Structures are given as structure tokens and as C-alpha cells.
């Protein structure tokens, strides 16, 4: 643990700052850290923090203009959502499953477990997405 992070945690423990303030400080501290080493570099594997979906394409209907979608979702948000789902009464989950199924989303929320999310994150490195449009690309990964 670096010295700055330790100081933030000490201020939190002493009641000088709130948990929200500590979280904001740690997030700002992490953003100011240098970029991680390139892929293939040796060292301990860090826990992914974000799920990223990048989509690029060339739109032939607009004169070949490139398009780009870049979605970055904090994995902590997904982890918290999975943990919160365990607090929902089974009857509500059954009703939600029925509504999802009617909408064409066959997910069983009663079977959603935190360890399942971690396993999904570990396997995202193996995701391949095939597209019919040669000028389009989709990348899904954790960082």
C-alpha cells in the first residue's frame, strides 16, 4: 500500500473525512497513478476495475463517416448489483424473471451469484465477436 493511500485511510479512521470523501480521494489518487505496464509484461495480475465495450464502424449512409461507441462500466457497480440481488425477495425475482423472459431476455435472476460475475470477468479475455460488416469492430474486455 502506498503512503498516500495509507494517509487517506488514517484520516478516515480518525474521523477527519467521511467514507465518501475517502473514496473520492482514492479514486483521484488512482487516476493520477502512471499507466499499467503493457500486456505481456511480467508482474502480479491486478483485479480488473472496468468492463469496457468499444464499437467502431464506418457509416456509408453519411459519406463514410466513422462512428464510435465507448462504454466503460465500473465492475464495482456490477458486483454491488449482484450482491443487492441476493436481498430481493424470491417472489419479486420470479416476477422480474417473467418480465425479462417476455421481453426476450432469458436470464434467471434467482441463479445470479457474486462468484458467477467473477468467473465471467476472468473469461472476458476469450470473447470473440463476429460481425457481418467488415468495417465494424466490437471489443469487450476488462481493464
Instruction: Say if residue 61 is in the same domain as residue 11.
Output: no
> Which residue range(s) make up the domain with 21?
1-36
Instruction: Say if residue 4 is in the same domain as residue 57.
Output: no
Phi, psi of 51 (to 5 degrees): -100, 125
- Give the SS3 label for residue 130: coil
Confidence at residue 22, expressed as pLDDT on a 0 to 100 scale: 83
Instruction: Say if residue 68 is in the same domain as residue 114.
Output: yes
Instruction: Say if residue 32 is in the same domain as residue 50.
Output: no
Instruction: Say if residue 16 is in the same domain as residue 52.
Output: no
Question: Rounded to 10 degrees, what is the CA torsion of 132, 133, 136, 141?
Answer: 0
Confidence at residue 127, expressed as pLDDT on a 0 to 100 scale: 67
Q: ∠ CA 11-22-71 to the nearest 5 degrees?
A: 165
d(CA 73, CA 120): 15
Q: Which residues pair with 69 in a beta bridge?
A: 55
What separation, in Å, do the N-terminal and C-terminal C-alpha atoms of the chain show? 20
Instruction: Say if residue 61 is in the same domain as residue 84.
Output: yes
d(CA 100, CA 111): 14
Confidence at residue 39, expressed as pLDDT on a 0 to 100 scale: 55
List pLDDT tens digits, range 5-38. Answer: 888 888 888 888 888 888 888 887 777 665 555 5
Query: Over pLDDT 70: what percentage of the chain?
Result: 84
List pLDDT tens digits, range 57-66. Answer: 887 776 777 8
Is residue 121 included in any domain, yes or no?
A: yes
Instruction: Say if residue 27 is in the same domain as residue 77.
Output: no
Confidence at residue 128, expressed as pLDDT on a 0 to 100 scale: 65
Is residue 41 included in any domain, yes or no?
A: no
Amino acid at each position: 500500500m502506498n503512503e498516500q493511500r495509507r494517509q487517506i485511510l488514517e484520516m478516515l479512521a480518525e474521523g477527519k473525512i467521511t467514507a465518501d470523501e475517502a473514496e473520492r480521494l482514492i479514486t483521484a489518487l488512482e487516476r493520477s497513478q502512471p499507466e499499467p505496464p503493457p500486456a505481456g509484461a511480467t508482474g502480479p495480475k491486478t483485479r480488473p476495475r472496468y468492463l469496457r465495450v468499444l464499437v467502431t464502424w464506418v457509416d456509408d449512409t453519411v459519406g463514410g463517416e466513422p462512428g464510435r461507441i465507448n462504454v466503460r462500466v465500473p465492475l464495482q457497480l456490477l458486483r454491488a448489483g449482484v450482491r443487492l440481488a441476493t436481498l430481493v425477495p424470491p417472489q419479486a425475482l420470479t416476477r422480474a424473471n417473467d418480465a425479462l423472459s417476455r421481453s426476450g431476455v432469458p436470464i434467471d435472476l434467482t441463479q445470479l451469484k457474486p462468484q458467477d460475475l467473477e468467473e465471467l470477468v476472468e473469461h472476458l479475455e476469450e470473447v470473440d465477436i463476429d460481425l457481418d460488416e467488415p468495417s465494424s469492430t466490437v471489443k469487450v474486455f476488462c481493464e
